[in-house]
Amino acid sequence: MPEYWRAGFQDGYVVHRRSYRETSLLVDVFSREQGMVRLLAKGASRGRSSKAGLLQPFAALALAWRGRGDLPVLREVEPLRRHNLAGSAVLCGLYLNELLVRLLPAGDAHPALFAAYGETLDRLVQGGGQEPVLRGFELLLLEQLGYAPPLEQEGDSGAPVLADGYYEYRPEHGPVPCAPHPQAFRGATLLALSARRLADGEQLREAKRMMRLVIGHALGGKPLKSRELFKYVKFEGN
Amino acid sequence: MRPTDRLGTLIQALRCLPGVGPKTAQRMAFHLLLRDREGAAALAGALQGAIQHIGHCLECRTLTEGELCEACADPKRDSSQLCVVENPAETFAIEQSTGYKGRFFVLNGRLSPLDGIGPDELGLDLLEAKLKSGTVQELILATNTTIEGEATAHYIGEMARHFRVRATRIAYGVPFGGELEYVDGTTLAHAFNGRQNL
């Protein structure tokens, strides 16, 4: 067992930070054991404080804080491991962080999601197709929150989704069979998304469009700001 | 002693300055009223004048009194190079230490979706129009080496690629006079990976 565990440290990632009062930072942390926590880092933005440098997104940290009330105070922070995101992977990372902040309620532990977050960052660093990686994380996040979209059964009848069928997606119901039209989703895409085996560009585009519907419904209207960052990004495989 | 209304208003107003909390604001207010009334009047006048007359440069969005800032109005500058920075202060820093004679574009911020700052908030439509016009040959991305600065550089870099303009990113690594042993791991890794032929 690593040394830091005994001292009341927890693993976590900074997902967002902003300045608070004169020299402090308010830090939103996605932690393994307590989910999203907002911490007050006192004096962290003062000149040469080492905390400000450490409290950056996309770095696994060991954090210790005091107090359980409205605003626990960060006591200590130690770096564990940095995910060196570069280029469009940074934009993807900011998108993941916005998803977490917007969708995860504070204080709910989601250890599986926490593990997946680190793995997702690793896969973004490794490069290769970013889109299937993002879809996988979106699906897991929705599953953990209980918003998982049914992908293998039709919404109302419960009949299995057929690979060569066409479906409309209704957020409250799920896939509903329809006649083929440009906005319909192919059954094969739903099944591939469910199996996390999205193949060609067409499937990736359809899966993205569908997840937008589902996430948009979960968010309740206000769109994600980080989508605007992808205007000029050309994903591989598209 | 309870601050009178006007004094309270002044203290409250001083708190809009970054890094100024209630105690500091109170000290500043007492200093201005008890020890330096002339300075206080000059400060009030300067603030009033600045608010009325200083706006954003139509070309580069830096702060300026006229329609164009000095750099944008100078015909001798090289329009084929455009350097993108986050804050007006950085244009001075770059000019003083590098002898750069191209033009600048000031974002007055950086992309940060969770703070509600996207491309539109940074005036990137104006930058887009500049790239489209074809005068820019090299776009130098001098945003900070924070996560948001990197995201901003990448976004603008892709935009430049879209309009077939060469985009370059300032190098970062071990600072001058820095000792490797004390440089943080991320910086050292970046410096190591970005090594150059001697």
pLDDT one-digit tens code per residue, B118-129: 999 998 999 999
- Of the CA atoms within 13 Å of residue B40, those in its CB half-sphere come to 12
Model pLDDT, residue B3: 58
Task: Say if the Cβ atoms of B120 and A88 lie within 8 Å.
Answer: no
User: Which residue in the set A56, A82, A98 is minimally distant from B113, CB to CB?
Assistant: A98
Residues of B in contact with A56 (CB under 8 A): 146-147
Task: Say if the Cβ atoms of B151 and A101 lie within 8 Å.
Answer: no
A142 and A149 Cβ atoms separated by less than 8 Å: yes
The closest alpha carbon to B146, from B177, B174, B172, belongs to B172
Chain B interface includes A226 (CB < 8 A): yes
Task: Say if the Cβ atoms of A233 and B111 lie within 8 Å.
Answer: no
The yes-or-no answer to whether B5-53 and B63-169 have a common fold is no
Residues in chain A predicted with pLDDT less than 50, given as ranges, are 1, 3-4, 6, 236-238
CATH architecture under which domain B5-53 falls: Orthogonal Bundle (1.10)
Chain B residue nearest residue A59, CA to CA = B186
pLDDT-derived band at B198 (thresholds 50, 70, 90) equals confident
Q: For residue B141, give the 3-state DSSP assignment.
A: strand
A18 and A44 Cβ atoms separated by less than 8 Å: no
Radius of gyration from C-alpha coordinates of chain B = 22
Task: Say if the Cβ atoms of B185 and A228 lie within 8 Å.
Answer: no
Q: What is the mean pLDDT of residues B106-120?
A: 93
Residues of A in contact with B184 (CB under 8 A): 53
Task: Say if the Cβ atoms of A101 and B114 lie within 8 Å.
Answer: yes
User: Per residue in B157-189, is it b (16+ CB within 10 Å) or e — as a string?
Assistant: bbbbeebebebebeeebeeeeeeeeebeebbbe
- B196 or B45: whose pLDDT is higher? B45
The closest alpha carbon to A117, from A31, A197, A28, belongs to A31
Chain A residue nearest residue B155, CA to CA = A229
Cα A154 to Cα A48, A146, A167, A204, B83, distances in angstroms: 58, 18, 9, 21, 54
Neighbours of B7 (CB within 10 A): 15
Chain B interface includes A93 (CB < 8 A): yes
Give the single-character DSSP code of B143. Answer: -
Burial class (CB within 10 angstroms; exposed 0-12, middle 13-18, buried 19+) of B133: exposed
d(CA B12, CA B26): 9
Q: What is the mean pLDDT of residues B175-180?
A: 84
Q: Is the dihedral of CA B92, B93, B98, B103 positive or negative?
A: negative
Fold of B63-169: Dna Topoisomerase Vi A Subunit; Chain: A, domain 2 (3.40.1360)
Chain B interface includes A125 (CB < 8 A): no
- Calculate how close chain B gets to A230, using CA atoms only, in Å: 8
Task: Say if the Cβ atoms of A232 and B185 lie within 8 Å.
Answer: no
Neighbours of B155 (CB within 10 A): 27
Task: Say if the Cβ atoms of A98 and B114 lie within 8 Å.
Answer: yes
pLDDT-derived band at B181 (thresholds 50, 70, 90) equals confident
- Calculate how close chain A gets to B44, using CA atoms only, in Å: 24
Residues of B with CB under 8 A from a CB of A: 19-21, 24, 111, 113-120, 146-147, 150-151, 154-155, 158-159, 161-162, 184-186, 189
pLDDT one-digit tens code per residue, B116-156: 999 999 989 999 999 999 899 999 999 998 899 999 999 99
pLDDT one-digit tens code per residue, B1-17: 555 689 999 999 999 98
Give the residue extent of every domain in chain B: 5-53, 63-169
- The pTM score is 0.84
Q: What are phi and psi of A151, to 5 degrees?
A: -120, -20
